[in-house]
Amino acid sequence: MTGMDWGTVPAWFSAVGTTGSLFLALAILLRDKRRDDLTEARKLVISWKGPEAGVGHKVHITNASDRPFIEVAVFNLDQWACDAGSPDGPMLSGESRGPLPS
């Protein structure tokens, strides 16, 4: 016989089936991880109060999850009309403006 031996049809079906099942398992794993992450994110409770005269808004963030949340940010939609970095604009990553007035 000249040339390369390409195997049998059942061997090809087996190879394609195995590859397909590996991709399916990976897709299911990623879907379940995303679902678990969203479930945990829904346990982050955000409440606000205000505005009150001379006080402004008070924001309280409570983590009811078993995992930590990193880099939680609160945005005021009125600030999006301002430039980033201005005193009234959205805060940049790592920027601090001191405590909220009590």
| Each residue's pLDDT tens digit, 7-66 | 788 888 999 999 999 999 999 999 999 998 888 888 887 777 766 666 666 777 888 888
- Tell me which of 43 and 90 has the higher pLDDT: 43
Q: Look up residue 67 and give its DSSP letter.
A: S
With 0.75 as the threshold, say if the pTM is over it: no
Nearest to 68 by CA among 46, 34, 44, 45: 44
DSSP letters along 35-65, please?
Answer: HHHHHHHTTEEEEEEEEETTTEEEEEEEE-S
Asked whether 63 and 46 are in contact (CB, 8 A), the reply is no
Tokens 């409440």 belong to 47
pLDDT tens digits for range 64-76: 888 888 777 776 6
Distance (Å, rounded) from C-alpha 13 to C-alpha 11? Answer: 5
